[in-house]
């Protein structure tokens, strides 16, 4: 990777860091490097979960660097080319066969909320977080999937309240409306994200991928289609070494010892 995105590996967890402290703007270089990294990590069987954060401890991200927009149009060929890449990257995170965790602290605005909305877990700081989609102040609307994903996450009324009023909410308020799964003291937030990532990475990889495939797309499917996707995921995991180990461990009343490689556990 280049200088815009730092990647740290610890065990089966990769931490992706937007290296533009203190505000961690989502620059053109950051999005280019993030797109490559997500594609590579999605196929890397040594990694079971990822954490996405900003550099430093002041802000997750204030969103896109608007001063670069003209340059981005030249690079990507059009206004829509810039937006399409960002939508593509967030969708790639959302569709990864392994969990992605975002830590929300300080400013999490515009794209700085839309990217976490594409993650499977969001953890917020107990103090100082200002989370929102303030595009109304720019005379426009969220453009990286924020209206759709926020509505699915918190419901119509809360989404309207946040977006139309340009509200910036705290970590505890984000937890109250269901925008984040956990809230932690600021000095414990990053450590908790790492612990959660290691916990998730220790789960059977094929089963994790199956659950993500079923649940992430559930809102776009009918009940029958959702059940069919679930059946396909069961078929993909049943008979694997992990599934058999899980069954044995349950019967023997002991913790399971899962295999980390989803392609190497077929019994």
pLDDT at 262: 52
pLDDT at 226: 64
DSSP tag of 182: E
Count of domains forming the chain: 2
pLDDT at 242: 86
CA distance 218 to 213: 8
pLDDT at 266: 44
Residue 222 sits in the same domain as residue 180: no
pLDDT at 260: 63
In a domain, 28, yes or no: yes
List CB contacts of 233: < 8 A, sequence separation 6 or more. Answer: 207, 209, 210, 211, 213, 214
- Which portions of the chain are predicted below pLDDT 50? 266-267
Q: Which two tokens stand for residue 230?
A: 């679930």
- Domain with 235, as residue range(s), is 205-251
Cα–Cα–Cα angle for 93, 228, 97, rounded to 5 degrees: 20
Catalytic position from the list 33, 114, 173, 188: 114
In a domain, 266, yes or no: no
pLDDT tens, 25-40? 999 999 999 999 999 9
pLDDT at 134: 92
List CB contacts of 23: < 8 A, sequence separation 6 or more. Answer: 58, 59, 61, 62, 107
Residue 19 sits in the same domain as residue 151: yes
Report phi then psi at 248, rounded to 5: -60, -45
Whether residue 114 lies in the annotated active site:
yes
Residue 191 sits in the same domain as residue 109: yes
pLDDT at 39: 97
Whether residue 182 lies in the annotated active site:
no
- How do beta strands 5-10 and 13-18 pair? antiparallel
Catalytic position from the list 33, 58, 127, 135: 135
């Amino acid at each position: 990777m280049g200088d815009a995105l730092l990647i740290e590996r610890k065990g089966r967890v990769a931490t992706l860091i937007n290296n533009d402290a203190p505000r961690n703007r989502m620059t053109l270089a950051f999005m280019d490097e993030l797109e490559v990294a997500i594609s590579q990590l999605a196929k890397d069987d040594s990694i079971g979960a990822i954490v996405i954060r900003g550099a430093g401890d002041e802000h997750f991200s204030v969103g896109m660097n608007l001063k670069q927009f003209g340059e981005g149009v030249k690079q990507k060929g059009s206004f829509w080319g810039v937006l399409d890449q960002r939508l593509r990257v967030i969708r790639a995170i959302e569709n990864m066969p392994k969990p992605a965790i975002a830590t929300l602290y300080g400013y999490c605005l515009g794209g700085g909320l839309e990217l976490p909305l594409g993650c499977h877990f969001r953890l917020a700081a107990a103090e100082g977080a200002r989370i929102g989609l303030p595009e109304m102040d720019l005379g426009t609307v969220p453009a990286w999937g924020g209206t759709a994903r926020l509505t699915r996450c918190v419901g119509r009324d809360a989404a309207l309240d946040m977006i139309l009023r340009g509200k910036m909410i705290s970590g505890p308020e984000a937890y109250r409306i269901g925008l984040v799964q956990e809230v932690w003291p600021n000095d414990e937030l990053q450590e908790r994200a790492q612990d959660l990532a290691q916990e998730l990475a220790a789960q059977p990889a094929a089963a994790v991928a199956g659950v993500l495939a079923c649940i992430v797309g559930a809102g776009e499917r009918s009940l029958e289609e959702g059940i069919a996707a679930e059946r396909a995921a069961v078929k993909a995991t049943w008979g694997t070494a992990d599934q058999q180990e899980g069954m044995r461990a349950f019967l023997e009343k002991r913790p399971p010892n899962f295999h980390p490689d989803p392609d190497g556990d077929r019994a």
